[in-house]
Chains A and B, each alone.
Chain A
C-alpha cells in the first residue's frame, strides 16, 4: 500500500516537473511548478514529517511561487517576447546539462553502496522533536543559516534602495 502510494506520488512529481520544462507559456510553467511542490508536500506527509510538509507548503507554494507568478504577470512575458537564444548560450546550456547528467549518474551508481534510508523513529518529524533537535544538536548550523538568511535580506533591501536613488 505505502510503497505503491510512494511510486504514484513520485510519478506525479516527475510528470509535473517535466511539464514545467516542456510548457511553452511561462505562467503555465510556474503553475506546474506549484503542483510539483505540492507533490513534495505529499512526500513529506508520507514520511510523517508534518512540520516540514506544512512549512514546504507555506513557504514554497504560498510565498515563493506567488512572488514568481507576480513577477511573471507584471512582466507579462509571451512566447514571442523572449526571443531566440544565441549559439554561445546554447553551448553553455549543453555543457551544464552534461555536467548534471554526470552528477546524477554518479549518484545513482553510489546508491547501491549506501544503506537504504530508514526512519529511526516514526515521530521524528513532529514539531516538538524537530525543535528539540534543532536547538540542541544542530544549534550551530541553525544559527548560521539564520545569519545567512539575514544577510540575504539586508542585501535585498540594499538593492531595492539603490533603485529608488537612481529613479
Chain B
C-alpha cells in the first residue's frame, strides 16, 4: 500500500464524515423549518440570519446539560447504547459511490471509500445492527417505558427487514451484482432502476421509514403511550447522540435509495457536461446531483412526518407481515417472469 493511496482514502473519509455530520446537524434545523412551513408558522429564526446557527446552539446546549445516569441502571450498557447507535449510523456511508472517478495529477481517485463486492448486503447488515443501540439503551435504563420502546424497536425492525431484503432481491435479479459501484454505473444517464422496479422501490421506501424509526413508524418513541420511549431516561449528550443517529440514519437511507433506485450520481446529459468541464469538475457535479437527490429524500422524510399520524401497533404489524411481504414476494415473481420472457425474445 503506497502512501498516496492512504492519504487519498483518509481525505475521502474525512470529507464524507464532515459532510454527514453537517447534513445531520442541519437536518435538525430543516426539520423544524419544514414543520413551520407545513403548519403555516415561521420556525426557528432567532440564532443567526434566518436561524442558521440554531444547530450550533442546540449542540452546545446538549453538551452543557447535566447528564443523569439512573442509579438502578447498568452503567456500562447505558453508555454503550447511544454510542452504538451513533457508531452504526456512520458505518454505512463507506460503500456508497459518491461520484465517478476523478483525476488528480494523473491518478485515478475513486470517490467511494471501499468497493466490497457484497456492498448491498453490507448496507443491509449495518441497518440490521442499528437496532442494538436502541435495544441496549432501552434495557439498561431500567425503566418500563424504555423497555417497551426497546421491545417495540426490536420487533418492528425484524418485521420490516424481511420485505426490505425481499425488495432488494428483486433489484439484484435485475442488476446481477452486489457491488454498489457497478449498480451505480449501470444506471448511466437516465437509465435508472426506478423505471424497472417501481413496486420494489415503494416497498423499500416504506421499510426505510420503519428502519429509521421515523413517523408514521416511530412507535419505539411514541410519546403519547411511552413518555419518551427508549430514550426516556437519557439526557444531555447521550440524548443528543440518539437524535443525531436518527438523522444520520435518515441521511444514509436517502443515500442508499438514491444510489439503488434513482441513478446515484447519474443525470441526463452527464456525458456532455463531463466533456465540457473535465475529469475533476464533472464528477464533482455528479456528486452534487447525488446530494440534491439525497436532500429531496430527506425532505420527503420530513414531509411525511408532519403530514401522516402514527400507526397503531397492530396496524404496523399487519402492514409489515400481511401486505408488504406478500407484495415483495409477488414483485420477485413478476420480475423473474419478465426477465425470463425478455431473455427468450
Contacts and interface: CB of A to CB of B under 8 A. Distances in A.
A154 interface: no
Contacts of A73: 135, 138-139, 147, 150-151, 154
B125 interface: yes
Contacts of A27: 139
A127 B118 contact: yes
Contacts of A74: 151
A55 B178 CA distance: 13
Interface in B114-133: 116-118, 121-122, 124-125, 127-129, 131-132
Interface string A54-96: 1101100111001101100110100000000000000000000
A51 interface: yes
B157 A127 contact: no
A70 B118 contact: no
Minimum-distance CB pairs A-B, first 3: A62-B128, A70-B154, A57-B125
A17 interface: no
A31 interface: yes
Contacts, number: 63
Contacts of A126: 117
A62 B122 contact: no
Contacts of A66: 128, 131-132, 135, 154, 157-158
A29 interface: no
Contacts of B155: 70
Contacts of A42: none
Given A34-B132, A58-B125, A63 B161 contact: yes
Contact of B136 (A31, A50, A76, A127): A31
Interface in A33-65: 34, 50-51, 54-55, 57-58, 61-63
Interface of A: 27, 31, 34, 50-51, 54-55, 57-58, 61-63, 66-67, 69-70, 73-74, 76, 126-127
Given A34-B132, A58-B124, A62-B129, A50 B117 contact: yes
B121 A63 contact: no
Given A57-B125, A73-B151, A50 B132 contact: no
Contact of A63 (B128, B135, B147): B128
B328 to A, nearest CB: 16
B139 A70 contact: no
Q: Is the interface of B mostly helix, strand, loop or mixed?
A: helix
A130 to B, nearest CB: 11
B158 A63 contact: yes
22 contacts: A31-B77, A51-B118, A51-B121, A54-B118, A54-B121, A54-B125, A61-B125, A62-B124, A62-B129, A66-B132, A66-B135, A73-B135, A73-B138, A73-B139, A73-B147, A73-B150, A73-B151, A73-B154, A74-B151, A76-B147, A127-B117, A127-B118
A73 B140 CA distance: 10
Contacts of B116: 50
B161 A69 contact: no
A74 B147 CA distance: 8
Contacts of B150: 73
B201 to A, nearest CB: 21
B30 to A, nearest CB: 30
Contacts of A63: 128, 158, 161
A55 B121 contact: yes
